[in-house]
Structure 1
Amino acid sequence: MALITLRRNFYRLSDVWINRALAALKNQPINHVHKVVKEHLCPWFCSLQPEPFRVRFHHACCKKFHSENGNDLHPVGEPLFSQVHDWDRLEQNLKNEDEQIFYRRLNSFTSSEEVLSFISTLETLSDAMAAGALQRICEVGKKDDNQRLPKGILENSIFQALCFRFEHELSHLSNTSLVTVLQALILLSMDPQSSLLLNLVAECQNRLKRGGLEVHNLCILGESLIRLQGPSCVTLEPIIYQLQGEKLETFTPEDIVSLYRILQACTDKVDQHQIFLNKINNFSLSLVSSLSPKLISQMLTALVVLNQTQALPLVIKLGKYVERHIPQFTDEELVKVLEAFIYFGHSDRFFTKALEQHVAALCLTLDPEVVSKVMEYCGRKQILSKPIFNAVAETFVCQSEKFSPSQISELIEPFGKLNYLPPNASALFRKLENVLFTHFNYFPPKTLLKLLHSCSLIECHPVNFMAKIFSPFFLQRLQGEQSYLDRLNLAQLTQLFLTSVLECPFYKGPKLLPKYQVRSFITLCCSLETPMDFQLYQSVKTALIDLLGARLYFASKVLTPYCYTIDVEIKLDEDGFVLPFTVDEDVHKRVALCIDGPKRFCSNSTHLLGREAIKQRHLRLLGYQVVQIPYHEIEMLKSRLEVVKYLQRKLFSQNTGVHW
């Protein structure tokens, strides 16, 4: 093991003191040695430790001290005691405890200056300790997210001594020390063409070719080379090949996640490594319980980047452990977790409960990106969590200036999508209106349209902005460089225009030109209406035929002149008689049956979604008699006859004179 001398003019004990101490040790039994050593010899830490602790004798250092001073009381390599085996065991125990103390002290420092000051007091450092010290300098030395160390640290003589010795004693470094030094220097964004880095990489490549690197070292080397040379690094393939030949049982959880990160950088070769990925995914199931929050976040991120949609069992198991660690995640890690759950479509009521507690307690201190991502997750999974929504609404009212336009859009949209007004709705939308007035031009056109459309779903109509979004200037911005407007955007514009006509008759501004209006709100990509549930429709259709006497008396999937599609339409004349659906004359009333399946409600709820609520609201304003047939009421009926009686009550309870 290479020993790096940092200060050659270190404080030296007198020869007399050394002789006296060794003579005393000679005459003591072996079980008394440890006590004497603790009381008299302090080569490293006694002057540094703020409180008393047990001192350890470093035999290797003592041998070097003797040889440097020409004191041959005991020749190098000759045992001081007759019990050679006992002494070697004692020496190893003392060395291990010295290292433990060293690393404890090292991890307690919060600045590079403290680390350098600490190691400057040491006579010698093993290569592992020196590498650990360099790594700690890198961890704590960055200021304000700057990847480079301050100039004062780079010019520090101790830091330069570390780098100098690493460069000139590469062949003596252990594998772990070698890759640790390489990793630390790359994290500091050192010049890739510097002689130190080039020599480190060359030495690593030589040892890789000889097959002498262990699993952990291979993982560190792989990630370091990706950071230094990019995913196209030619050395990466041999590293992955060697890792494929290792037994996964020998990998630690940290190594498995590191392996995911290496493969994550090679997304263009996912198909090539898919068999290996399948093995890793299956093996990782057994490691989930031992992963830290940071590792869970990194594993989920890698699964997303690698598009491991077939690894849903692993995602589900990770989700069960995520809920336990939510308070321990950093804001950035929690964002990654939420992005992964959105990507894989995963949701869990226990995770939602833990998220509610976390957001409700810390919402005012959470990063805006976390707040908006939580709302995006709720919106995507249609989870109406009133504790989350209320806390987020309060946060936006108090701290709206912290949110970017895209974050504001992600924050507000779920309120409209899930048809929910928080207790402070008036303050929330007044604050939103002020933000839009002040920063209107900073919002991307599509983001702005989506935001205003969401407000209209819950009857918070953006009347003060309708003139702007119906103007040719805005429509041109919305179109951008494309030759046509996106169909979803046209549908949103059309519904906003319909809202201005039906719900805001006082609006007298510009109208939306017919060429920008759609004929139907059902689109192939993202519809403004939820398609009818087929099985639920079949149950209702059969009962309607029994009730009305023939299929002739109702129509299905009727497209109205107002862009909405009615699930089932029934026509009545002035006397309340049901007319055949083919008749257009003498129609006095139209009944619109909304056959609402589970997808028209918030998740695990009977709360109607915003797009269905606005549809039913508009149909009523257009003169339809809207009859809602929700799935949860139909599911309670046990027979066909019960369904018929249920529909009779729904359709004709207020028209006792009706005949069919």
Structure 2
Amino acid sequence: MAARLIRRFSRLLAASSSIPASTCSIPSECIRACRHHPRPLALPLHTSALCKYTDNLLALKQNGPRMNGPNEKDFLAMIQSMSSPEPLLQMSSEYSKNGNRAAAIISQIAKVTETNKAEVVNDKRFMELLSGVNKQIQMIWNVRLISLLRGLYVLGVDGKSHYLRSVETEVRWRLRKFSIELLGRLARLIVPYAQTEERKALMQDLAKSVELRWTEVKDTKTLVNVIYSLSQVSRTLLERMEDKVLEYAELFTPEESRTINMALAAQNCRSLPILRALSFHLVQRNKELGPSVIVDLAYAYAKLNFSQHQVLYKMASDLLPKVSELSGKEMTGCMRSFSTLRFFNLPFCEAIAQACLENSSSLTPTQLSSIILSFAHLNFMPSQHEEFFSMVVQRLSTELESLSPPMLVDLVWALCVLQLVTPAFLQKALEPQIYNQFMGGVNNKSSNYSLKLTQINAAAQLECPEYQGPLLPHSLLTTVTPPAAGSSLSPLQSDLRNVLRDVFPDKDTCNFSVKTVYGHHIDAEFILDSENNPLALINFTDPHVLHNNGINALPEGARRFAVKSWEYSNFCLRSKDLTGGFALCRRHLRAAGFLVVEVPFYEWQELKSERQKSAFLKDHIKKVVAEAMSA
């Protein structure tokens, strides 16, 4: 053991022979022991690697660093201070042989070049920088390589360029060496430019790499980048990221929550655990949400049909003081999203109506029509409805020609719901060149607009006596299928039908799933005489249905009843107020002469036995009769 220690001391002594005593790190006792050792060293002394390393350190201390241009920090500060491409291009002769610095210069050129990008790309000095990068592509740092790739994309370098393909190939080869944070950055920058087959293939390889290493994600920024950029490429990756989102949900900023929700909406991925977790922390956080965040969140929730009252209320409350600052596009988008979710907030809707009155000239006809449509869906009438209606007529009467046929139909239907329609609007919507585009269509969009046109036609007949025409031909009305007609029955409708069969055991006295000429579907129809006895429907004419073979008029004192069930989706969120379309249905049926027996879900679900349900229905019929007699 002693011999080995002596050997080590001898090597250290040889290494320290050229080091001044003041700078030597070897203890002086060891040096003295080696120098006064009575016996010669067993092994010859030699210069070791430690000796060479120490000599190099001494040389650096004596001569200082080699001055080959500024150091890296100063170099980055220098190029970042330049705000135009010309001085950066002039640096090509000095730095084109240094691949890392040439890549940094190209990245900075991409940041400061806003116009004339083609001239910059075709400049000889820029090509010189690219050539230098290409020669030392393997020596470029990972972070700088990703910034270089983004710079080439931003500058619009031809996708077939040898230099760009060389950078893309190098990036692909290094995917396994990149950290997970760099993979997230790469995914975020490449998404807007992934149009060619080569770039799509690079996206696929990137998604596969992240799939294998998804457990390495340790920060919210990388998680957001991965979900936003790669969820559209790999649904499997999105499912794996769900656990990560739940783990970091509390740490997300509102902007990051917005980005994740928008990514889910783009994928149409209704992940309830993610949506609930993010919305919970948005509500718990005291930080006020910005207008742009609220507009995007509302859109994502509407797209995914996620209606959580607490977060929607917070969004409306935070946006209320800033309504006057919103652009027409933001107001339109937010109102459309809230109406889709059936979320009605009276102060917010009033603020939107007031903003429309004050800034009507800044709203386009399409934006104003969209806001009116949102009001109609929520069955909201502004408190200043006379002023609001005057503004609508003044702005849109001369702009109807500029509206597309679908938007025109939506606008007139909305005015019918709000009871603000005029003969001029009805006449424009019921022109043959308009309804011929939709009536008889087989796709969902055509069916929706055919239904709205039928309801507009009903409003013209039932609620606008001064209207002179035109009206929809009766032959076209047979092609319209109201919602729920012919489709599978809901539990409420099925249960109601069974009870009605017990109340009206004679099948000729009650018809089910009736399609009316007004574009509305009713669950059941029956007739009671003056003694409240049911009559056979087949014996009497029925002008409200599409096909009827009866020839007799109703006897004196007889009344026609329509049974209408109201589902949860027929009401505004957390409210007992019907949405606009179903309020219009109830109004039209009453105007057509029906006594409407309404069965809302919140009353029906409290009834447990068949006897209770039957008694409930009979009591409702008696109540409707009493109200009709007292009117």
Q: 2:576 aligns to what? A: 606
Task: Judge conservation of contact 1:360–1:391 (CA < 8 Å) in 2.
Answer: yes
Give TM-score scaled by structure 1 length. 0.68
Question: Residues 466-481 of structure 1 correspond to what in structure 2 (within 5 A)?
Answer: 466-476=426-436
Residue 225 of structure 1 and its aligned partner are, at CA, apart by: 5.0
Task: Judge conservation of contact 1:543–1:643 (CA < 8 Å) in 2.
Answer: no
Structure 1 pair 521/172, CA: closer, same or farther in 2 (3 Å)?
A: closer
Structure 1 pair 304/651, CA: closer, same or farther in 2 (3 Å)?
A: closer
- Where in structure 2 are there 5+ consecutive unaligned residues? 1-20, 26-53, 66-70, 541-553
Tell me the matched-pair count.
Answer: 552
Structure 1 pair 154/338, CA: closer, same or farther in 2 (3 Å)?
A: farther
1:183 maps to a residue whose letter is: R
Deviations 1:514-571 (A, max 9, x none): 33324765247xx8x999754366368648946x898876554344565544334342
Residue 305 of structure 1 and its aligned partner are, at CA, apart by: 3.4
Deviations 1:286-319 (A, max 9, x none): 133333334333333333333434x332233233
Q: 2:140 aligns to what? A: 173
**Distance in structure 2 (CA, Å) of the matches to 1:641 and 1:286:** 51
Give TM-score scaled by structure 2 length. 0.71
**Distance in structure 2 (CA, Å) of the matches to 1:437 and 1:446:** 17
Residue 218 of structure 1 and its aligned partner are, at CA, apart by: 3.4
Question: Residues 356-371 of structure 1 correspond to what in structure 2 (within 5 A)?
Answer: 356-371=316-331
**Distance in structure 2 (CA, Å) of the matches to 1:303 and 1:485:** 24
Q: 2:211 aligns to what? A: 244
Deviations 1:109-160 (A, max 9, x none): 8x9369989xx9xx99x99899778767755x466xx7x7698999999x99
1:505 aligns with 2:465: yes
1:218 maps to a residue whose letter is: L
Q: 2:83 aligns to what? A: 112
Q: 2:562 aligns to what? A: 592
Considering only aligned residues, what root-mean-square deviation do their CA atoms show, in Å? 4.9
Decide which of 382, 402, 411 is 1:442's aligned counterpart. Answer: 402
1:569 aligns with 2:525: yes
Residue 505 of structure 1 and its aligned partner are, at CA, apart by: 0.6
Mean CA deviation greater in 245-254 or 453-462: 245-254
Decide which of 382, 387, 390 is 2:347's aligned counterpart. Answer: 387
Highest CA radius of gyration, 1 or 2? 2
Question: Residues 138-537 of structure 1 correspond to what in structure 2 (within 5 A)?
Answer: 138=110, 141=112, 170-192=137-159, 197-208=164-175, 211-225=176-190, 227-228=192-193, 230=195, 232-233=197-198, 234-264=201-231, 266=233, 273-309=234-270, 311-323=271-283, 324=285, 327-329=288-290, 331=292, 334-476=294-436, 486-518=446-478, 522-523=482-483, 534-535=491-492
**Distance in structure 2 (CA, Å) of the matches to 1:106 and 1:480:** 65
**Distance in structure 1 (CA, Å) of the matches to 2:619 and 2:203:** 71
Counterpart of 1:428 in 2: which secondary structure?
helix
**Distance in structure 2 (CA, Å) of the matches to 1:369 and 1:253:** 30
Residue 282 of structure 1 and its aligned partner are, at CA, apart by: 2.8
Structure 1 pair 493/252, CA: closer, same or farther in 2 (3 Å)?
A: same
Structure 1 pair 170/330, CA: closer, same or farther in 2 (3 Å)?
A: farther
**Distance in structure 1 (CA, Å) of the matches to 2:492 and 2:443:** 40
1:252 maps to a residue whose letter is: D
Counterpart of 1:384 in 2: which secondary structure?
coil
Q: 2:597 aligns to what? A: 627
Counterpart of 2:300 in 1: which secondary structure?
helix
**Distance in structure 1 (CA, Å) of the matches to 2:190 and 2:412:** 47
Q: 1:78 aligns to what? A: 58
Q: 2:543 aligns to what? A: none
Mean CA deviation greater in 420-429 or 643-652: 643-652
Task: Judge conservation of contact 1:335–1:369 (CA < 8 Å) in 2.
Answer: no
Mean CA deviation greater in 641-650 or 244-253: 641-650
Deviations 1:325-370 (A, max 9, x none): 9855562x54443332223211111211112113312122223333
Deviations 1:592-621 (A, max 9, x none): 333333232212110012222222222222
Q: 1:40 aligns to what? A: none
- Where in structure 1 are there 5+ consecutive unaligned residues? 1-25, 31-73, 89-94, 267-272
2:83 maps to a residue whose letter is: S
Q: 2:535 aligns to what? A: 580
**Distance in structure 1 (CA, Å) of the matches to 2:487 and 2:442:** 28
**Distance in structure 2 (CA, Å) of the matches to 1:359 and 1:248:** 37
**Distance in structure 2 (CA, Å) of the matches to 1:379 and 1:345:** 11
1:577 maps to a residue whose letter is: N
Q: 1:538 aligns to what? A: 495
Q: 1:68 aligns to what? A: none
Task: Judge conservation of contact 2:477–2:517 (CA < 8 Å) in 1.
Answer: no
Structure 1 pair 165/291, CA: closer, same or farther in 2 (3 Å)?
A: farther
1:650 aligns with 2:620: yes
Task: Judge conservation of contact 1:368–1:403 (CA < 8 Å) in 2.
Answer: yes
Task: Judge conservation of contact 1:555–1:581 (CA < 8 Å) in 2.
Answer: no
Residue 386 of structure 1 and its aligned partner are, at CA, apart by: 1.6
Residue 394 of structure 1 and its aligned partner are, at CA, apart by: 2.0
Structure 1 pair 402/472, CA: closer, same or farther in 2 (3 Å)?
A: same
**Distance in structure 2 (CA, Å) of the matches to 1:485 and 1:230:** 30
**Distance in structure 1 (CA, Å) of the matches to 2:513 and 2:280:** 42
Counterpart of 1:350 in 2: which secondary structure?
helix
Counterpart of 1:422 in 2: which secondary structure?
coil
Structure 1 pair 224/359, CA: closer, same or farther in 2 (3 Å)?
A: closer
Counterpart of 1:591 in 2: which secondary structure?
strand
**Distance in structure 2 (CA, Å) of the matches to 1:414 and 1:483:** 23
Counterpart of 2:399 in 1: which secondary structure?
helix
Structure 1 pair 388/205, CA: closer, same or farther in 2 (3 Å)?
A: same
